[in-house]
Structure 1
Amino acid sequence: MKKIICALCIACGLSSCEEWFDIKPQTELVSNDFWQSKSDVESAVAACYRAFLEPDMMERLIVWGEVRSDNVLTGLNVSNDIYYILTANVDASNGYTKWEPVYRVINYCNTVLEKAPAVQQSDPNFKAGELRAYQAEAITLRALCYFYLVRTFKDVPFTTLSYKDDTRPFQLAQTDGDDIIDELLGELESISDNYAKAVYSNTGDTKGRITQKAMWALMADMYLWRNEYDKCIGMCERIQQTQSNPLQLEPSTRYNQQVFGAGNSSESIFELQFDTYTPNYVVNEMYGTTGGRSSVNHLSSLDFGEYQLFDGSDIRQYDAFYGSSSAAFIPIRKYVTYRLESSGNQVSASDYIVNQNTQDWIIYRLADVYLMEAEALVERNAGGDLEKAIRLVSNTYDRANPSRGTGSLKLQNYNSQELMRNLVFDERQREFLFEGKRYFDILRRVRRHGDLNNIVSTYLLRKYESQDQATVMTRLNTLNALYLPVNRDELKVNKLLKQNPFYATTGDIDRN
């Protein structure tokens, strides 16, 4: 936890909007004379986004949400930490149990929220509405960080105070994860109507900074996690009905190229902005075989042909991975290649070109809104609103199956809550393969229904088929086992932390 006590690293001054995401934080402590003008606050908010782009942060977005899921297997060459995760052999020494990169962003956000109001009082050019917009960005980014932490570790230290030096106590106990989410939602609810901007002056900022719709999408996701279905539906409807910052699904012929190639598509709500000056090396290392910083951590796709996730007509299987084969390694295609626009329904390998290093990373897009609402509709009562749910699922399914025409999903084939629940669950997997969402979807379902053994045996076990199944089941047989342990270094530094009970074995942690 002491590593969380880091300086807010800021670079001063922006000469153009295009430089917003190129801000590189400095390592020195923030000086007393930094917080003097609106431009200082703008630079500080930019540093919050910039910290999201750091490789150690990006690694966690993929490892925590994707590597632990049933989507991926070990690839050509992975580090020991990745290998242990992929073989259900995680302990408190694993590097990916360190949460420092996420708390770094939280600390930047906390500092903005503490310092910015006084700047607005002293700078006559800093308007109250501008302050509220910056506050909305910091509050939402902080909530997103805590949401990742809670879904990964369950109970974590929670603070809204910034740490600039050792004058504030760093010994913080964990707060119950559900309580953290509830508190964050209360804060977001208090600003959701009139703080965040609807749009910015350019597309890159509208898609790459927090807008109203980005805030609402996060709130919908958090409501779904807390099983507050009516509120989730309300947020999803608000996103679809609000006319400012209009969203629409890209057509089938342009979907892969625009969403994962060009980026900032018409359906994008919030995505992390990478370019040639700030490359997304991590995606290339984990999903590609060229263009990263090193030759390690190449992941393989599960052979989905064996599990019949995709209909033969579903073009997302070609967009996501290099087909089904008997080879031990099935390269992941999403993000690292994109499909050229085509007027036909047939897809071939020659349609794809490599997209090295510059891929944005999507946090929310319109497809997520449709499928979050569909899930909430199915779950909010015993019968569920199955008719509306299937219409929402059809938005993404029809696009991915153009040869079948619209309306190919028939309600008569999904006429019970359980059948529709599985349709939504599978459609989310098809649509968001390798986008860092699958493990959290699995965990959300286990938390909601308590059918851990069924979910583990049906989904998670298939990635461990080369291992002894009984041994794997003993490593995944309780809800706490689906969360990561607290890193042993954090336990040594912060005496108030308690280990996840599943990992708290006698003598496992040396606190001396």
Structure 2
Amino acid sequence: MINKIKYLLLLAVLAFQFTACNDWLSVLPENEQVSDEYWTSKEEVESVLASGYVYLRDAVPRLVQWGELRGGAIYSINGNDLQTFQVTPDDGSLCSWAPLYKVINMANSVIANAEVVMQRDETFDEAVMTSYLTEAYYLRALSYFYIVRNWRDAPLILAPYETDKISYEKEKSSEAEIIAQIKEDITTALGSGAAKEKYEEDWATKGRGTKWSLHALMADVCLWSEDYQAAIMHCNEVLDATSAFRPVFVTDPTKWYELFYPGNSNGSIFEINWDHGVYNQTNNLATQFGNGSPVYVYSEQMLLDWIDETDLTGSNEAVRSLYGAFVPDVNGDDYANASLGYVWKYSGIGMQAQVRNTVNEQDPNYMVYRVADVMLMKAEAMILSSSDMQAWSVAIDLINEVRTRAKLPVLEPVLEELNEADMLELVLYERNMELAGEGKRWYDLLRFGKRDGFKYRSLFLIDMVVAYNRTANPAWIRSVLNNDDALFLPIETSELENNRLLVQNPYYHATN
């Protein structure tokens, strides 16, 4: 059992000695003999796998920025080139894919060497080995999914960098090739039958790759690639599961906040874990999203959305709005006059304006997938898979389950009077409110806007960003978002210098 991703020590504990170079994959071993000397025991496989989770945790600040700032519902009060759509190849902190390739290299190392270790270590049971492989495939697939949504095309690396004889110069693969590999990895992991439903420790069931997180990821990938029937199937693997260890949609409104405090709840599928009390692990999420000295706050339009939601429930009955998802900069009873809204999911400790204010509470987890997310994925896929009113009725029922848990009135549309765009707008709005601050907004807008040959570019991508983003000129936003290449990040300058086979995203090549 992996101990709770303690400092797992990156490679010092592993006996890997890595350089601090600035290459696109900056974890290269110094000693070309290290692979033969290292892979001898199951503990070493376990340590490398755990390092993948450590690197994923290190990537969280970027996951927040990439998933939120271009969407406009949350913005940085310090300014940020992402939210103004002025990022350049020299913005290394914003356009470096290195944090994700570090995760990928750890996953590749496990995939390449686990079976070798099983031949060397008689105590390494095949079932355990195969289970570790499912986690490695999950980490690799998840990392590449972040990459493809942010850069579209990127190097597809499927072997570990274990000796200095391996060239790290590699051309980009296409979005379609990367998506195909992601699906293959998930299919391989699920097909082995070794993906766990639960671990011995509760945190691990939510903080490590499981059967449920593989299905959630595959549903997300299928939505992105417009394979709606497959998306529905994988959503159902979560939503219709009967296992005693399945994640469940918790209908009790009083339990909503337990998703975030203390975290690892029944409604969670996969979240990136920290634990200060036991392992002295902390992050800055509570501070960056708090109302003390925040970095990220809700935009003006998002604050208005929260005020409208609180009006519907009343301040005393609010679940995911007042003191749930946001805290206004005025007295709670005067929330309608708020001019600033603070993101509360990572800062509060419950349904009141009570902040995480002890040292041991500066370790909120970062949510990646939860059941409500999968329910809304299924609603989206049901709408797009068919124009049949029965399918659309299922989508409305799923949306209403989420709304009912938030103590909001149910939607009762006359489906025959709605078109596909109307239905999708209901899903998109619900995703924005339920999943606010969870790194979903930009990917949702991009996915909705680009589908079916950018059928909804204006309605769901450009108009939505303009409506929520007040940090950039609307005309500038429109001009950027009308360019397909500008929807994706540039390759960092140093990566181009170190990998001569890379070609810059043409939008940034032309503008720089």
TM-score band, normalised by shorter chain: 0.7 to 0.9
CA deviation profile, 1:295-352 (whole Å, cap 9, x unmatched): 6x71120122545773622532221222367776432212111324xxxxxxxx5466
Residue in 2 that maps onto 1:223 = 222
* Stretch moving more, 445-454 or 393-402: 445-454
* Stretch moving more, 220-229 or 300-309: 300-309
CA deviation profile, 1:414-471 (whole Å, cap 9, x unmatched): 7443222111111111110000011000010111041323334421113443643223
Residue in 2 that maps onto 1:336 = 347
Q: How many residues align?
A: 468
1:37 to 34, 41, 50: 41
Matched, 1:65 2:67: yes
Write the distance in 1 (CA, Å) between the matches of 2:485 and 2:178.
18
Cα pair distance change 1:121/1:186, threshold 3 Å: same
RMSD: 2.4
Matched ranges for 1:68-467 at <5 A: 68-75=70-77, 78=78, 83-94=80-91, 95-193=93-191, 194-244=193-243, 245-276=245-276, 277=279, 279-288=281-290, 298-303=295-300, 304-306=302-304, 310=309, 312-313=312-313, 315-318=319-322, 319-323=324-328, 329-340=340-351, 349-350=352-353, 354=357, 356-383=361-388, 385-401=391-407, 404=409, 408-412=410-414, 415-449=418-452, 450=454, 451-465=456-470, 467=472
What amino acid does structure 2 have at the position aligned with 1:267? G
CA deviation profile, 1:126-166 (whole Å, cap 9, x unmatched): 12111110010001100000000000010011110111342
Write the distance in 1 (CA, Å) between the matches of 2:200 and 2:485.
45
Cα pair distance change 1:387/1:354, threshold 3 Å: farther
Cα pair distance change 1:17/1:115, threshold 3 Å: closer
Identity of aligned residues (%): 28
Three-state SS of the structure 2 residue aligned to 1:430 is helix
CA deviation profile, 1:67-119 (whole Å, cap 9, x unmatched): 221211232xx2xxx52222222111112101111101100110111111111
Write the distance in 2 (CA, Å) between the matches of 1:301 and 1:209.
30
Instruction: Tell whether the 8 Å contact from 1:383 to 1:417 is kept in structure 2 after alignment.
Output: no
Three-state SS of the structure 2 residue aligned to 1:242 is coil
Gaps of 5+ in 2: 19-28, 329-334
Write the distance in 2 (CA, Å) between the matches of 1:226 and 1:142.
18
Displacement of 1:367 in angstroms is: 0.7
Instruction: Tell whether the 8 Å contact from 1:120 to 1:131 is kept in structure 2 after alignment.
Output: yes
Cα pair distance change 1:350/1:128, threshold 3 Å: closer
TM-score by length of 1: 0.85
TM-score by length of 2: 0.85
* Stretch moving more, 120-129 or 246-255: 246-255
Cα pair distance change 1:457/1:210, threshold 3 Å: closer
Three-state SS of the structure 2 residue aligned to 1:281 is coil
Cα pair distance change 1:424/1:280, threshold 3 Å: farther
Cα pair distance change 1:200/1:495, threshold 3 Å: same
What amino acid does structure 2 have at the position aligned with 1:265? S
Write the distance in 1 (CA, Å) between the matches of 2:139 and 2:420.
34
Write the distance in 1 (CA, Å) between the matches of 2:404 and 2:362.
31
Cα pair distance change 1:59/1:353, threshold 3 Å: closer
Instruction: Tell whether the 8 Å contact from 1:147 to 1:181 is kept in structure 2 after alignment.
Output: yes
Three-state SS of the structure 2 residue aligned to 1:26 is helix
Displacement of 1:373 in angstroms is: 0.7
Instruction: Tell whether the 8 Å contact from 1:203 to 1:264 is kept in structure 2 after alignment.
Output: yes
2:11 to 26, 33, 46: 26
What amino acid does structure 2 have at the position aligned with 1:137? E
Displacement of 1:483 in angstroms is: 1.0
What amino acid does structure 1 have at the position aligned with 2:81? Y
Gaps of 5+ in 1: 1-15, 341-348
Cα pair distance change 1:250/1:70, threshold 3 Å: same
Instruction: Tell whether the 8 Å contact from 1:260 to 1:335 is kept in structure 2 after alignment.
Output: yes
Cα pair distance change 1:65/1:280, threshold 3 Å: farther
Residue in 1 that maps onto 2:481 = 476
